[in-house]
Structure 1
Amino acid sequence: MAGRPIPNSLKKQMQKATVKHTDMPNEMKTEVVDIIAGSIDKFTLPTGVNFEGATRAIKDALDKSYGFNWHCAMGKGFCFDVTAQNGTLMHCYYQGELAILVYKC
């Protein structure tokens, strides 16, 4: 992606999160991807994504569905090294440029 903007027509095709790495069971992975996509869509403004609102919504939904102590990080440029419970880590991209990390510890 070396600095070129993604065309809007391609972004519409990429409305679902692309999972880079996960150790979640398939059913849980599908539900978490849906939660992520729904939360980001809900907090997308004409000026961009409200990261704080979207991450809070994702965390609250995961806490409610799968128990407490979930964490969510979202951004366009970050790296991570976390320790998570087995079966709870997911790193994915939304629309090709927005990285999302969710995990439970």
Structure 2
Amino acid sequence: MADTVEAAPEEGVKKLAYSFPIVRHTDMTEEMKEEAIAMCISAFEKCANNNETAAKIVKDNMDKMFGTAWHVVIGESFGFGVTHEAKHLLYMFYGGSLAICIWKCC
């Protein structure tokens, strides 16, 4: 008979957390996209455990830089369908499974 070898589960397996943004969809200009990504990273560093505060920081900064009517959603496991102004949408992931959606209403 052939010997069967069972693979032992690896001990100490860690969940990967990416330290760089992964942009899933955007129609923003390159300059606006880079500013929005930088704002998100800065907000996450300031408020690592509070998504609501991080979203408020990003929204306030976007309102100051690019005019009013910006909306920001930060969280895990959400879907969205929004009506937005052309060239004013960013959907990205950061830190693994944390999703960020930024858009400006018409």
Question: What TM-score does the superposition give when structure 2 sets the normalisation length?
Answer: 0.82
Aligned residues: 93
In structure 1, the residue matched to 2:73 is: 73
Contact 1:16 1:33 in 2 (8 A): no
Aligned-partner Cα distance in 2 for 1:5–1:32: 29
Aligned-partner Cα distance in 1 for 2:67–2:14: 38
Give the % identical residues.
35
| Map 1:1-105 → 2, pairs under 5 A | 6-7=15-16, 11=17, 14-44=18-48, 49-105=49-105
Runs of 5+ unmatched residues, structure 2 = 1-12
Structure number, greater radius of gyration: 2
Q: Following superposition, which runs of at least 4 residues in structure 1 exceed 4 angstroms of deviation?
A: none
Structure with the higher helix share, 1 or 2: 1
Aligned-partner Cα distance in 2 for 1:103–1:36: 13
Provide the secondary structure at the position in 2 that maps to 1:86.
coil
The alignment's C-alpha RMSD in Å is 1.4
Deviations 1:30-49 (A, max 9, x none): 111000110011101xxxx2
Question: What TM-score does the superposition give when structure 1 sets the normalisation length?
Answer: 0.83
Deviations 1:39-79 (A, max 9, x none): 011101xxxx2011100000000000000000000111100
* Change over 3 Å in CA distance of 1:101–1:5 after alignment to 2: farther
* Change over 3 Å in CA distance of 1:65–1:77 after alignment to 2: same
Runs of 5+ unmatched residues, structure 1 = none
